[in-house]
Amino acid sequence: MVGLIGSGNNGGDGLYAMAALAKRGVRCTAVLLGERTHPEALEDFNRAGGRSAYAMQLPGLLEDCDLLIDAVYGTGVRPGAVLPEIPQNIPVLACDLPSGVDADTGAVVPTVIAADRTVSFGALKTGLVVGSGHLVSGHIKVIDIGLRETLPAPEAWVAQGEDVELLLNRTSDWHVPGQHKYQRGVLGLFAGSPRYPGAAVLAARAAVSTGLGLLRTVVPDSVAPAMSGAVPESVPLSSQELTALLAHSRRNDREGAKRIGAWAVGPGLEDTPDNRETLAQILASESPCVYDAGALVMLEPGANPQPRILTPHAGELRSLLAKAGVRVDAADIADDPVRWARWAAVAYDCVILLKGSATICTAPDGYTLIVHSSTPDLATAGSGDVLTGLLGTLLAATSFPAKESETNLMHRLTDIAAAGALIHAHAGALAALEGTLSAVDLLRALPRAARDLGL
Ligand SMILES: NC(=O)C1=CN([C@@H]2O[C@H](COP(=O)(O)OP(=O)(O)OC[C@H]3O[C@@H](n4cnc5c(N)ncnc54)[C@H](OP(=O)(O)O)[C@@H]3O)[C@@H](O)[C@H]2O)[C@@H](O)CC1
Ligand SMILES: Nc1ncnc2c1ncn2[C@@H]1O[C@H](COP(=O)(O)OP(=O)(O)O)[C@@H](O)[C@H]1O
């Protein structure tokens, strides 16, 4: 076993770990990379029979290495750290954090040492589950080292499958036996264009696959035949019906088919004057709404009374921020996704669900939930449209009391967004068991995923 040992406490942790292993007979060599070394840990390591080496000896040592312990930098890393290159075939166990990951943001230095496993001490660091840090942390295990009482409140929480029931407040808020279909949830879907008919169909199929009472669709004439063919459950809404309905929409009014409890807007939608007009009506309504893709292009920042979830990927987040006067590039977002998602939540007065290898759900007050265990197979065209339809169903099935405080409302929307991301991730995992994954495979796995997670 070879340990890469830095000058601070992280190096000390690595030396203590290797001392324990050396005492059990493991052949351990510590490569001392700093100008100084944690003195007590080095003494313990030496006493246990460990050997020390210089950086220049590393390539030779790696030729005969079963496991590399990375203990160069932990939370103390500064930008610009330069780290040795490790051949890909050597398994790496990182102490606390892979060296080169910023514990708070997930930013990494170019020479970051990617780990197969990370043993994180005391608490899960945000940088391990978001941004580029998420991609180099491997399997993460958090070890309690007795810090719990002294730690400040977390800045963000990781949400997992078993949390869905709690996030959806199922005991008081979700489907009640005896409800008829209109009470169960009516969703309006405004989506699709001659160019992107499939996006509307995918969102619609996702919505009806996750336990919706009724789906009403507003799609262009060219998309309508495909919609009724692929989603016979859906009921089209004429533009006259739409105008009449939006004029009377109130939060939680779902007493009949003419009412719409929530909206899902944007998959495949094009920026046209007519669409802007319809969108303006939906924006002015009080019904909860998830806005995605084409809708995001037409949104403006500012305060609003509508319960809103926006679901941008990093490119769309950049455009949203630019409209709000905040200039960032893709690298800035990758370096600190939670920060920029929070900026957008404040600027647009809504919940932001930032898509990517980790999904970040955040409210304007900073309440943040992270879903980080999705399969990379989800990175396939149409997978975001499925998420939008699914979120629409969750919104339509939730009651939002008119007198709820702004903070409570935003937190509930954040919880719903995370629940949606978890169901989406679980469907991805189920579909991936069968082989490579398309958005339609994801759709097929949705009912089972929803049922597994308690819907
Ligand atoms: N403290 C605790 O309560 C607990 C601590 N724990 C453990 O300690 C770790 C934090 O320890 P740490 O503060 O000593 O920092 P660490 O990550 O070892 O960095 C080493 C030093 O490297 C240097 N350095 C950094 N960047 C550089 C650069 N670009 N280029 C060159 N040099 C650079 C910098 O030294 P400087 O140059 O500033 O003197 C830095 O101090 C933490 O992650 C966890 O593993 C846990 O056991 C839990 C309890
Ligand atoms: N590398 C990845 N690992 C896990 N999930 C991913 C990854 N890349 C993308 N995703 C997820 O896949 C979905 C892609 O959505 P989106 O970018 O809107 O695609 P589309 O517009 O084609 O539907 C999002 O839910 C996102 O979080």
User: How do residues 246-277 score in pLDDT, each as one tens digit?
Assistant: 776 655 555 544 588 999 999 999 999 999 99
Instruction: Clarify whether residues 132 and 234 are in a common domain.
Output: no
Write out pLDDT tens, residues 200-230.
Answer: 999 999 999 998 999 999 999 999 999 999 9
Greater confidence, 244 or 23? 23
Of 154, 206, 164, 156, whose CA–CA distance to 421 is shortest?
164
Give me the interface pTM, i.e. the ipTM.
Answer: 0.85
pLDDT at residue 258 in the model:
54
Average pLDDT along the chain: 94
Instruction: Please count the structural domains in the chain.
Output: 2
Q: Which residue is listed with tokens 């630019």? A: 322
Could you give the percent of the chain with pLDDT greater than 70? Answer: 96
Q: What is the structure's pLDDT at 259?
A: 81
pLDDT in tens, 142-198: 999 998 889 988 999 999 999 999 999 866 666 677 788 888 889 999 999 999 999
Task: Name residues whose C-beta falls within 8 Å of residue 100's C-beta, 6 or more positions apart in sequence.
Answer: 73, 77, 81, 83, 108, 109, 111, 112, 113, 136
What's the half-sphere exposure (Cβ side, CA atoms, 13 Å) at 87? 12
Rounded Cα gap, residues 19 and 46, in angstroms: 8
Determine the distance separating the centroid of ligand 2 and the alpha carbon of 411, expressed in angstroms: 23
Which-ligand-closest: CA of 151?
1
Is the domain of 118 the same as that of 177? no
Among protein residues, the one with the nearest Cα to ligand 1's atom 13 is: 76
Q: Is 127 within any annotated ligand binding site?
A: no
Q: Report pLDDT digits (tens) over 31-79.
A: 999 999 999 999 999 999 999 999 999 999 999 999 999 999 999 999 9
In the DSSP assignment, the letter for residue 153 is: P
Helices and strands counted in the chain (H then E): 18, 17
pLDDT at 290 over 90: yes
Q: Are residues 89 and 194 in the same domain?
A: no
Q: Indicate which atom in ligand 1 lies nearest the CA of residue 99.
A: 17
How far apart are alpha carbons 29 and 357 in whole angstroms?
35
CA of 47 to the centre of ligand 2 (A): 51
Whether residues 150 and 277 share a domain: the answer is: no
- 235 shares a domain with 323: yes
**Domain end residue (candidates: 154, 179, 211):** 154
Which of 313, 352, 386 best tests ligand 2's pocket when mutated (most atoms within 8 Å of CB)? Answer: 313
Indicate the residue among 120, 154, 188 that finishes a domain. Answer: 154
Closest listed ligand to the CA of 74: 1
pTM, to two decimals: 0.93
415 CB within 6 A, ligand 1: no
Mean pLDDT of 337-353: 98
List the CATH number of the domain containing 224.
3.40.1190.20
Nearest ligand atom owner, CA of 11: 1
Domain boundary among 125, 154, 183: 154
Closest ligand 1 atom to residue 73 Cα is: 17
- Nearest protein Cα to ligand 1, atom 11: 9
Label residue 354 exposed, middle or buried (CB < 10 Å: 0-12, 13-18, 19+): buried
Judgement on whether residues 262 and 410 belong to the same structural domain of the protein: yes
Rounded to an integer, the average pLDDT of 356-378 is 96
DSSP 90: S
Structure tokens at 75: 């939370």
Average pLDDT over residues 291-307: 96
pLDDT of residue 257: 47
Distance from the Cα of residue 265 to its chain's centroid:
20
Asked whether the predicted pLDDT for residue 243 surpasses 90, the reply is no
* CB of 95 closer than 8 Å to CB of 107: no
The reply to whether 33 and 139 lie within a common domain is yes
* Distance separating the N- and C-terminal Cα atoms of the chain: 47
List Cβ neighbours of 56 (8 Å cut-off, separation of 6 or more): none
Give the pLDDT confidence score for residue 252 in this predicted structure.
52
Domain harbouring 120, CATH code: 3.40.50.10260
Same domain flag for 149 and 165: no
Statement to judge: residues 146 and 174 lie in one domain: no
Q: Give the distance (Å) from ligand 1 centre to CA of residue 73.
A: 5
The residue range of the domain holding 267 is 161-452
**410 in the same domain as 309:** yes
Q: Is the pLDDT assigned to residue 134 strictly greater than 60?
A: yes
Ligand 2 near 198 CB (within 6 A):
no
Q: Which atom of ligand 2 is nearest to the CA of 382?
A: 23
User: If DSSP codes are grouped into helix, strand and coil, which group holds residue 100?
Assistant: coil
Q: b or e along 215-243 (b: 16 or more beta carbons within 10 Å of the residue's beta carbon)?
A: bbbbbbeebbebbbebbeebeebeeeebe
Ligand whose nearest atom lies closest to the CA of 36: 1
The residue assigned the tokens 């709690």 is 166
Tell me if 313 is assigned to a ligand binding site.
Answer: yes
Q: What is the CA radius of gyration of the chain?
A: 25
How much distance in Å is there from the Cα of 418 to the middle of ligand 2?
14
Q: pLDDT digits over 101-121, tens only? A: 999 999 999 999 999 999 999
> 173 CA distance to ligand 1 centroid (A)?
47
- What is the phi-psi region of residue 14: left when phi exceeds 0, alpha when psi lies from -120 to 50, beta otherwise? alpha
Q: Which residue has the higher pLDDT, 314 or 251?
A: 314
pLDDT at 250: 55
Question: Any binding-site annotation on 357?
Answer: yes
Residue 446 and residue 428: Cα distance in Å, rounded? Answer: 8
pLDDT value at residue 135 = 95
180 touches ligand 1 (CB under 6 Å)? no
What are the pLDDT digits (tens) for 404-438? 899 999 999 999 999 999 999 999 999 999 999 99
Do 71 and 97 sit in the same domain of this protein? Answer: yes
Claim to verify: residue 203 and residue 62 sit in the same structural domain: no
Residue 213, ligand 2, Cβ within 6 A: no
- Quick check: helix, strand or coil at residue 351? strand
